Structure 1
Amino acid sequence: MQDVADRAGVSAQTVSNVINGRTERVGAETIDRVTRVIDELGYRLNQSARSLRKGRTGIIGLGLPVLASEYYSELAERLSVRFAERGIRLVAENTGGAMAAEVESLAASHLETYDGFILAVAASESVDLNRLLPTKPIVLLGERALSSRFDHVLMDNVAGACIATGHLLDRGSESLVALGGDRSGPESVQTLRTRGFDEAHRERGLQARPERIVNGGLDMADGYREVCALLDRGIGFDGIFALTDSCAHGALRALADRRVRVPADVQVVGFDNVRASAYSTPRLTTIEPGNDEMADEIVRVMMARLQAGATPGERHRSTAHARLVVRESTR
């Protein structure tokens, strides 16, 4: 590194900043000169040596239930940018939403690759997680409050769903569908958001009818298929609370194909505030679950654990604030 600095006429710290991507205060000409000298000298970081010296790999793992998802890909990007600003790389893994894969991702042997691990929990329960004896910092994120042995950043699914449903009812919809809803399964994003759907009805002296809780999946294709099926069966509705924005986008396409006007005939609200929701036709009213707030908190908690080392302490749990983003799909 000093050889590169001498040849490029800069400090070793500047070379370090360029190598590690901390270039906010490094001019473009300097970055180009340092990069060119690195190529000329054939300089390469010895990652193994650096890890031994620091006792760190410089890598945080992120376990996601699905990679081909707008919500999870945007989450990964938010976290990647924030960790990169701190000189840390983020590596995403696909757990497939399977309990065995989630538990395996937190096993000590697997964690040797990482300085810490962030797991978006889809299937595991507290009893599964409590068996683990992880050697690295772990931050859980997702829908449910789980084991108190781990730091956990949650989203307020019930409150967000209640806000979304209340918005539809207060804007004149009387027969609502919970698209992707589930009243009877184990606690999950579906049951929690359905709980908020029901609470909004009860707060207004109403009751959601069982046939309008449509447990057909949360993806775009699911939303399209289930709305078409409702229309084919002649089940009337004038409002849709889609439990994800992806599901809502499928619903919008189905309504457009059947010449149902949105929002004049049917109002639609989604949940997640993914970027595409601001560009759909019509633009989607949705719940912003605190995406940036959660990313900031996840990184803050992980960095605090890394700096504190492996010392035990009180586990951290926080819930992001959900809010409504009103666009064109509601009146």
Structure 2
Amino acid sequence: MGERRKAKVTLPDVAKLAGVSVASVSNYLNDYPHMRPTTKQRIQNAIDELGYVVNEQARNLRSGRTGLITLSIPDLNQIYFAELAEEVIKAARTRGYGVIVESTGNDKQRELDSIASMARNMTDGLILSPVKMSNDDVASMEGDFPLVMLGERVFKAPAPHVMMPNEAASRAVTEHLLDAGCRTVAVVGGTLDGSNSSSRSLRTQGYVEAMRHRGLTVDPALVREVGEWTSKNGALAVERMYREGIRPDAIFALNDLLALGVISQLREMRVRVPESVRVVGFDDINEAQYTIPSLTSVNPDRARIAELAVDLILGQVMTGRRASADKYPVPFTLVYRDSSPIMSS
């Protein structure tokens, strides 16, 4: 009998036991702010005693919410983005939300499609990390739907922007290598073309600033452009440098996949890391600690990025309006491992 009743507990049952109206119970379940603490406690006590379970699906239908957010990222084959997606899913789950993950495949039209899809109200908000859109596409982001930007591509987006301090992190890496006595520091995956704001241009700029601050000339031949940031391209960049007679004493790879390829190619050429060449990566993916040698890398704090992005989205969902276009930089940490250990003072 008790089990049968527990399975059929309704809102009026809770209201009757708590001695309040059904409307009061509904207000309580929907976080109505103007309610006396004693009333809230009576309702919660009744819910606990009866074992009432909120029907989230029906509640979402009434509120017009789906209980889902969209995460649109460039490429799930990039380990950084796969690990970031896991962190966003975890952060959303602890807040009672689910996540639909989209990969745009580094394609501008798919990035724009992710924004356009918000008009269909399939999810309650969008966390977008674009790599092909530019400030020319800002108009497509206008509206009231909850939106949070990740990455560095679109600085004028009319939405909160969670970002990692790429330039500062790259300066810290370069200064670490210079402090270790390195002077021929190569950058794999960089670009000296700063016309478009991107991870590769900002990270290269941090390197350039650190070199110039120490009074060192930046040799363009040491800034090695590659296509996609993959281990294969990291290995090819090193092979080509050595074929051209360039012998760096340090290599800063602009992501960890590039760094893994760099270390693999150096090992193939019997160049010792870190004795002959120090290697530092960026992103601190899980594999970084298991390479041989283990990889020194920049940890951008994916967990904090995810938590902040989810909280900013849900804040907009609750208020029903787009948040202001403030920037939220997330602190980084340089994690020292065997590929470039910290110098003892």
* Number of residue pairs aligned between Structure 1 and Structure 2: 295
Which residues of 2 match residues 261-272 of structure 1 at below 5 A?
A: 261-272=272-283
- The C-alpha deviation readout for 1:182-208, integer Å capped at 9, x for no partner, is 011522111110001111101111012
Structure 2 vs 1, CA of residues 64 and 5 (structure 1 numbering), >3 Å: closer, same or farther?
Answer: farther
Is 1:197 paired with 2:207? yes
Q: 1:111 to 1:142 in 2, by over 3 A?
A: farther
| 1:83 is the counterpart of 2:92 | yes
Closer, same or farther: CA 300–7 of 1 in aligned 2, 3 Å: closer
Q: AA paired with 1:329?
A: S
**Residue 95 to residue 110, structure 1, CA distance change in 2 (3 Å):** farther
TM-score scaled to structure 1, two decimals?
A: 0.83
Segment of structure 1 superposing worse, 115-124 or 94-103: 94-103
In structure 2, relative to structure 1, the CA distance for the partners of 1:5 and 1:62 (3 Å cut) is farther
For residue 78 of structure 1, report the CA deviation from its aligned partner: 0.5
Contact 1:65 1:94 in 2 (8 A): yes
Quote the Cα distance in structure 2 between the aligned partners of 1:3 and 1:123: 56
Task: Report percent identity of matched pairs.
Answer: 34
Find the counterpart in structure 2 of residue 247 from structure 1. 258
Cα drift, residue 109 of structure 1: 5.2
- Which residue type is aligned with residue 155 of structure 2? L
Matched letter for residue 134 of structure 2: E
Q: Does 1:329 align with 2:339?
A: yes
Q: Which residue of 2 aligns with 1:39?
A: none
Q: Aligned partners of 2:300, 2:220: CA distance in 1, in Å?
A: 26
Unaligned runs of 5+ in 1: 14-44
Displacement of 1:135 in angstroms is 4.3
The DSSP-based 3-state class of the residue aligned with 2:247 is: coil
The answer to whether 1:155 aligns with 2:164 is: yes
Q: Deviations over 1:52-100 (max 9, x none)?
A: 2231111100111101111001100001001011111111101122222
Q: 1:169 to 1:153 in 2, by over 3 A?
A: same
TM-score (norm. length: structure 2) = 0.80
Q: Please state whether the residue corresponding to 1:276 is helix, strand or coil.
A: helix
Shift of 1:148: 4.5
Q: Does 1:169 align with 2:178?
A: yes
What is the one-letter code of the residue matched to 2:82?
S
Equivalence for 2:23: none
Is 2:232 the partner of 1:206?
no
Unaligned segments of structure 2, at least 5 residues? 15-54
Q: Determine the C-alpha separation between the residues in 1 that align with 2:217 and 2:330.
A: 28
SS at match of 2:129: strand
For 1:122, the aligned partner's letter is V
In structure 2, the CA distance between the partners of 1:122 and 1:164, relative to structure 1 (3 Å rule), is: same
SS of the residue corresponding to residue 121 of structure 1 reads coil
Structure 1 range deviating more: 201-210 or 136-145: 136-145
CA contact (8 A) 1:244 1:270 kept: yes
How far does residue 318 in structure 1 lie from its aligned partner after superposition?
Answer: 0.9
Distance in 2, Cα, partners of 1:4 & 1:212: 74
Greater C-alpha radius of gyration: 2
